[in-house]
Amino acid sequence: MKSESNHQNILKVRMDAITLELLERARSYVDLDKSKFTRQCIREKAEAIIAEHESTHFGEEDWRVFFEMLDNPPEPTERMKKAASTYKKIIDNEEV
């Protein structure tokens, strides 16, 4: 199969001299070409931002309630018992 260049995936970036020098300095320590280094940095930063915004954060009260529920779980409701029974039947390959 012939590999074709996809020009839609090109990103041109303008940067000031200070940022470019920082990029070159950092890049020299990890021995990556400019393109790979830039892609790696962008990916790492994007993943960190996404993780920060898509993760759940618990406050002090949330943690207190969570551990209280672990230490003293409430009695299961009828609905919970039925769900557990249905799940067990599914796992045991029985008909529901």
Distance of CA 59 to the CA centre of its chain: 20
For residue 60, pLDDT over 80 is answered with: yes
Written as one letter, the residue type at 20 is L
pLDDT tens, position by position, 62-85? 999 999 999 999 999 999 999 999
Length of the chain: 96
pTM above 0.75, yes or no: no
In the block, which residue shows the tokens 């920060």?
Answer: 52
**Res 5: pLDDT:** 59
* Spatial separation of the C-alpha atoms in residues 15 and 13, rounded to whole Å: 6
What is the structure's pLDDT at 41? 95
